[in-house]
């Protein structure tokens, strides 16, 4: 059985017990979370979130890209979130390569160049990278000053979050 077939089976059990059909769309906790896609990070468990509590935005690294800004702007302006948590983590795969190396490796493997992605946003310094993502959101002209943006590092060995001072 493929992984997709396996999870479809799990979904049947989930749907049979489903009780969340009346939840409103705006997140109850007025919270957005940007987090790395790493499979070890089970965001709802790490943060004690229930369905309907928060927007969870994920990508490789937990990077504030153009598309993440799109989601954050919709989350705040249309769906009322007031706080954004940015969560990166120890042992992140994004610390293990450089953009130039990966772009070149894939170019050679495929035998062709591409226009997108122009960048993978690999990084060397976890804390500095978290600060950079916070700054990208805070400095956006459509993000109001009262919108709270805080950054954290999740330790994959302990399950603990540590705040990165801005
Ligand atoms: Zn990661």
pLDDT tens by residue, the chain, 166 residues: 899 999 999 999 999 999 999 999 999 999 999 999 999 999 999 999 999 999 999 999 999 999 999 999 999 999 999 999 999 999 999 999 999 999 999 999 999 999 999 999 999 999 999 999 999 999 999 999 999 999 999 999 999 999 999 7
**131 CA from centroid of ligand 1 (Å):** 16
pLDDT for residue 59: 98
**63 CA from centroid of ligand 1 (Å):** 10
- CB atoms within 5 A of ion ligand 1 belong to 36, 38, 92
Domain 26-164 class, CATH top level: alpha beta
pLDDT for residue 102: 96
**20 CA from centroid of ligand 1 (Å):** 30
pTM listed for this prediction: 0.95
**79 CA from centroid of ligand 1 (Å):** 27
**144 CA from centroid of ligand 1 (Å):** 28
Buried b (16+ CB within 10 A) or exposed e, 65-78: beebeebbeebbee
**134 CA from centroid of ligand 1 (Å):** 16
pLDDT for residue 134: 98
**89 CA from centroid of ligand 1 (Å):** 6
pLDDT for residue 1: 83
Q: What secondary structure does DSSP assign to the chain, as a single string?
A: --HHHHHHHHHHHHHHT---TT--SS-TT-EEEEEE--TT--HHHHHTPPTTSEEEEEETT----HHHHHHHHHHHHTT---EEEEEEETT-GGGS--HHHHHHHHHHHHTS--SS-S-----S-HHHHHHHHHHHHHT-TTS-TTSEEEEEEE-TTT--EEEEP-
**96 CA from centroid of ligand 1 (Å):** 10
């Amino acid at each position: 059985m493929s992984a997709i077939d396996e999870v479809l089976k799990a979904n049947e059990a989930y749907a049979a017990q489903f009780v969340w059909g009346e939840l409103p769309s705006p997140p109850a906790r007025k919270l957005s979370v940007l987090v790395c896609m790493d499979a070890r990070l089970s965001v709802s468990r790490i943060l004690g979130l229930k369905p309907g509590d928060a927007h969870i935005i994920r990508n490789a690294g937990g990077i504030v890209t153009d598309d993440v800004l799109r989601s954050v702007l919709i989350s705040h302006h249309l769906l009322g979130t007031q706080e954004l948590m940015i969560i990166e983590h120890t042992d992140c795969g994004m610390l293990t390569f450089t953009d130039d190396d990966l772009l070149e490796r894939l170019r050679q493997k495929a035998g062709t160049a591409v226009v997108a992605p122009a960048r993978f946003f690999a990084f060397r310094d976890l804390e500095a990278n978290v600060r950079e993502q916070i700054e990208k959101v805070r400095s956006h002209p459509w993000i109001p000053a009262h919108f709270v943006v805080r950054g954290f590092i999740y330790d994959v060995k302990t399950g603990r979050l540590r705040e990165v001072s801005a």
